[in-house]
Amino acid sequence: MDLQVLRSFQAVAEGLTVTEAAAEARITQPALSRALHRLEEEVGAELLQRVGRVLRPTPAGRVFKEYVDAALDSYDRGRRAVAEVVDPDTGLVSLAFLHTLGTWLVPGLVTGFREEYPGARFELHQHGESGLVQHLLDATADLMITSGDPGHPLITWRRLLVEPLWLAVPTGHRLARHRRVRLAEVADEPFILLKPGYGLRSVTEELCREAGFAPRVAFEGEEVQTLRGLVAAGLGVSLIPSSPDTAATPRFPIRYLEITDVHGARDIGIAWLTGRALPQATRRFIDHALRASANAPDGRW
């Protein structure tokens, strides 16, 4: 069974047309159609069926694809492992990270690592918390950097830093002249929050509970930049992670206030599947991230 045929089957089952999959494989469309037909004969079942102008996996095809995904992933990991034995300094680090960390933490870690290992390559994925865990479980990433320990029995997590959370209010807000406030002071105001399932949403709700109230939700977004934009527009207040770019600008006329009645912060850490044998470059990156965090107690590097 040809690995390229399996890759083409995988691509078609995931939504590519046969013509597109054939172009990726650098063969003709009729040749790929014949190869997929031979694959079905080998497996002993119809794997793909036409729905309109495209092919979709049959029930048998969906079951078979799970094993194809696992086989191809294992093969690709084997090739990576061999390549790193031959030249460990040019290994690939497959990293998924929380979208809010893409403006400061991840670039700093990647830059520092590549200064030590210039030949290292990165495969990056950006997502919310739930999507990051799935990247590890699906083996589409070896590592993730996220907020809080996911608490999954198959995942090992190590803290890198504690990131402060600030109360973001519009510059014209009644509290904007203050530096420090109690979170309870905005108990009656509308909150701009991330959607349920995001770690920052859970942290915000927990901090509000500690302050004695449940946040009144005005809007639910999918990224922190959206929260900032709607706070700047005067539609509510929000708890925003601290990072080097959290400062008032003409585009984001916001004041960031320290909260004093609850501990406004979240843990940021690095995680991997406990039982997976990690490539050498990946293990080196874990060590690099942990050293960087130990040498930067204020969470900045």
In tens digits, what is the pLDDT along the chain, a chain of 301 residues? 588 999 999 999 998 988 999 998 889 999 999 999 999 999 999 999 988 778 899 999 999 999 999 898 888 878 877 876 667 677 889 999 988 788 889 999 999 999 999 989 899 988 777 678 888 888 889 999 998 888 899 999 999 999 899 999 999 999 999 999 999 999 999 999 998 878 889 899 999 999 999 999 999 988 888 899 999 999 999 999 865 455 556 666 899 999 999 999 989 999 999 988 888 889 999 999 999 988 875 544 4
CA atoms of 136 and 140, how far apart (whole Å): 6
State whether 156 and 278 are in the same domain.
yes
Residue 190 parent element (H or E): strand 190-194
Asked if residue 177 belongs to a domain, the reply is yes
Domain assignment of residue 35, given as a range: 3-84
Per-residue confidence (pLDDT) for residue 301, from 0 to 100: 47
Domain count, the chain: 3
Tokens matching residue 61: 């095809």
State whether 131 and 280 are in the same domain.
yes
pTM attached to this predicted model:
0.68
Residue 261: CATH number of its domain: 3.40.190.10
State whether 147 and 186 are in the same domain.
no
Whether the CA torsion 170, 179, 101, 217 is positive or negative: it is negative
Per-residue confidence (pLDDT) for residue 280, from 0 to 100: 87
State whether 167 and 155 are in the same domain.
no
Domain final residue, candidates 84, 115, 139: 84
CA atoms of 201 and 212, how far apart (whole Å): 17
Per-residue confidence (pLDDT) for residue 158, from 0 to 100: 96
